[in-house]
Amino acid sequence: MHRRVPALVAAAFACLGALSVTATPAQAAVVEVVYSPLSLGDYCSARVDSSSAIGFYSGSVSCYRRSTGGSGLTYTGSGSASAACAYFNPTYTYVGSAQGASQALICRYSV
């Protein structure tokens, strides 16, 4: 019996150590969501200028509407990446943003 006590004590401490490792809270996951220039147009229309139809991200969000006659784009104003990310996912925690392909906006959220 006396030989089993040290082994049982060691096993008990090992179990407690394993429980303490698994009991720590998990880190929040970070997800990236890509918003195309057409999606950014929704943000631009709602928050910058109602005539906006498209938006490009290059350090900030630039909003445009189609020119009359379809000959190009007319600048309507600018917005911020953090505001656009919050607009699209208000329940997520905004972490950061980056420029994607074709001047899309990549929003990083903690969920």
**Pair 61, 105: CB distance under 8 Å:** yes
Number of domains the chain is built from: 1
- Would you say 77 and 48 are in contact if contact means Cβ atoms under 8 Å apart? yes
Does residue 17 lie in a domain region? no
* Per-residue pLDDT, 3: 54
Whether 22 maps to a domain, the answer reads no
The whole-chain average pLDDT of the chain stands at 83
Beta strand segments in the chain, E: 30-35, 54-57, 61-66, 73-79, 93-99, 105-110
Band the pLDDT of 23: cuts 50, 70, 90: very low
Distances (CA, A) of 110 to 24, 33, 72: 18, 11, 37
Q: How many residues does the chain have?
A: 111
Residue range(s) defining the domain that contains residue 44: 27-110
Is residue 8 in a domain? no
Q: What is the pLDDT of residues 46-92, one digit of tens each?
A: 999 999 999 999 999 999 999 887 779 999 999 999 999 999 999 99
Residue 92 belongs to a domain: yes
12 within some domain: no
